[in-house]
A and B are shown apart, each in its own frame.
Chain A
Amino acid sequence: MNLLLIAWKNLLQRRLASALTALSIGLGVMLMVLVLVISGAVETAFTQRSIGYDLIVGPKGSDLQLVLSAVYRIQPPIENLPAMYLDELQADRRVVTAVPLAFGDVTQEGGFPIVGTTTEYFENDYLPGQKFEFGKGGSRIDQLFEAIIGADVARQNGWTLGSTFPILHGGAEGSLHDEEFTVVAVLAPTGTANDRTVFLNLESFYAIDGHEKPVDEIEKRLRDFYAADQDRLDQALAELDDYRQQLRNEEANGVAAVSPRAMQEVTAVLVKTRPETPFDAISLSAELQKGFQAMAVNPIRPIQRLMTNVIGNVQKALVVMTGLIILVSGVSIFVSIYNSMSDRRREIAVMRSLGAGRHHVFGIILAESALLCTGGAAMGWLTGHGVAVLASPWLIRRTGLLISPWTVSPWELTLFPALAVLGILVGFLPAMTAYRTNVADALNQ
């Protein structure tokens, strides 16, 4: 029998106290593992370059909200931009690509965000150097009411090629739009928010009944937006007057009115500038900063700010807190073993009379506390990752956070040596008591 086995039998002898102290260590470690897994996921989700574009253009407002809504799709949009402005951007010589996004709706089934866009979105990289791949179907949404869905949407809703679905308007208390959309392609998993997005042909967005805002509201907005650009405003107002005329005609004669560009809106525009002149992105962004109602945002910066200012600190605080929990559990191990020592003086003396040296009984007690610490930690580590596995589908659904439950963070690697050290520290004093036991006295008890 070696010392470890003897220590193990001693722990079994006091199995309730042993189990409880190991459990408290285990719970602390489990919490720490969960904090690390989740914050690791938050970190990778938010620090990697989030999209394959240089700028996101949206209405003036919070840059963070623009990124969270346009890229991560976990915030409602700020407002809309006139579609005319998209045309302006596309005409700008500094702009290589400008892809429109219209969003704010979610699917009735599963509550997945809906994004109206063009086929161009799928032709560009979704992350730098990463091209979209299609699990099933084509790669275009050129026709009205065509939809491409992300891998998670397909899996969770059980949708596949040819599936049809209605959409729910975010603004109007859950009222369903009439039109049904048809899935024409399913994206291969990307590990980004695209996996749980339903992409629709942008034109069908405008075509949806009741989606169009009243002409007067649009006019008011255009007046705001183009307050500094009289030429464009005049052009837009002329289009609106013409449209009013058509609408009256539609009512009177049944001739369908065709909504002009001025009536159309987009929520955000993803912009790629020429790679050989990186200053273009900066100058465009600076220009918009001064200008009227739009802003251009670097997709990484607001998120980095959020990471370092808020999430990073919260994460550190949580790690420190779980560390303290583990420390307190360590103290409970100390109390448990130390309390048992007075009852065990005689046992220790008997072992000594069998020829055990001081170092043997010292080692046995130390092994007990190390076993409690590392055993509890091992259980906590496994349950922590197990809970992460079980919780990951839920977490993706609720937050879009893609966690990799078995990823071991560098902090975790230090966990086991740290706990072995903790075990040795808390076991040291009781082990010293065992070491110093006066055998003749203890045998006389």
Chain B
Amino acid sequence: MSLILKQIRKSYRQPEGDRLPVLGIDHFELARGEQAALIGSSGGGKTTLLNIISGILVPDSGEVIVDGRNIVSMAEVVRDRYRASRIGIVFQTFNLLPAFTALENVLLGMTFSGRAVNRSFAVELLERVGLGHRLHHRPPRLSVGEQQRVAVARSLANRPVLLLADEPTANVDPANQSLILNLIRDTCKDHQVSLLMVTHSMEAATQFDRVDRLNEFNQPQLCTTGATS
């Protein structure tokens, strides 16, 4: 299994002082190389869930097991490094660092994993997403679709086991939407990477073999053993 979620509870503190439960997921699994689309309504906790899986957020309780290890119990430094080496992330917008060229953005993805930076693999990835001729362009000089393709290349830079995509096509035109989606799915297939894409649009999800609905298995509830955030 690439990903197993166990008894995840997450709530946010509200301005009034009480807590707003956002997530209550008893069990969720993603097999190695499996691709799943997760559909949820706006404000349904999709981004919160991805942040918990990537270790950016810590759940109030529960276990997030990525590639066999529970990242919730890790020290933050270890979790950061683990994220760098096991998980790739593609956001909806503003994925790239404007000070760096397309190639440098991909290399940056390799910098924090603790492994040696592999430049030829970075070039190969950019070529794979059709940007072999844009290696030295900086993000402001790239179209939104091209930026998103660089982000896809970068998310795979450390040969992760799991790729998380948060509405990766919401900001691109319909023609590019399927192109980018296919790109993500094909490259994940090539590299044996599990893919979890969250979206609120059915349209983007239809291509996926596995489509889950977040509100079907998510029963937001407060954690009984004391909340952290």
A12 at the interface (CB under 8 A from B): yes
In this complex, the member of A353, A357, A443 whose beta carbon has the largest number of chain B beta carbons within 10 angstroms is A353
Across chains A and B, the number of contacting residue pairs, with CB separation under 8 Å, is: 76
Which one of B54, B76, B99, B108 contacts A358 once the chains associate, using CB atoms below 8 Å?
B76
Known A10-B99, A443-B91; contact A357-B85, beta-carbon cutoff 8 A:
no
Residues on A with C-beta less than 8 A from B112 are 351, 354-357, 360
Q: What residue in chain B is nearest A348 (Cβ atoms)?
A: B97
Which one of B107, B108, B158 contacts A351 once the chains associate, using CB atoms below 8 Å?
B108
Q: What residue in chain A is nearest B160 (Cβ atoms)?
A: A355
Residues on A with C-beta less than 8 A from B154 are 354
A1 touches B107 (CB 8 A): yes
C-alpha spacing A3/B84, complex, angstroms: 16
Known A9-B100, A350-B95; contact A1-B108, beta-carbon cutoff 8 A:
yes
Q: What residue in chain A is nearest B99 (Cβ atoms)?
A: A13
A440 at the interface (CB under 8 A from B): yes
C-alpha spacing A355/B104, complex, angstroms: 16
Chain A interface size, as a band, is: 20 to 34
In this complex, the member of A2, A10, A354 whose beta carbon has the largest number of chain B beta carbons within 10 angstroms is A354
A contact face: mostly helix, strand, loop, or mixed? helix
Residues on B with C-beta less than 8 A from A235 are none
A440 touches B51 (CB 8 A): yes
A352 at the interface (CB under 8 A from B): yes
Q: What residue in chain A is nearest B107 (Cβ atoms)?
A: A1
Q: What residue in chain B is nearest A353 (Cβ atoms)?
A: B89
B77 at the interface (CB under 8 A from A): yes
Residues on B with C-beta less than 8 A from A1 are 104, 107-108, 111, 117
Taking the nearest CB of chain B, how far is it from the CB of A368, in angstroms? 11
Taking the nearest CB of chain A, how far is it from the CB of B66, in angstroms? 13
13 of the cross-chain contacts (CB-CB < 8 Å) are A347-B98, A350-B94, A352-B56, A353-B54, A353-B89, A355-B80, A355-B81, A355-B84, A355-B109, A356-B84, A439-B56, A443-B56, A444-B47
B residues adjacent to A (C-beta < 8 A): 47-48, 51, 54, 56-57, 76-77, 80-85, 89, 91, 94-100, 104, 107-109, 111-113, 117, 154, 158
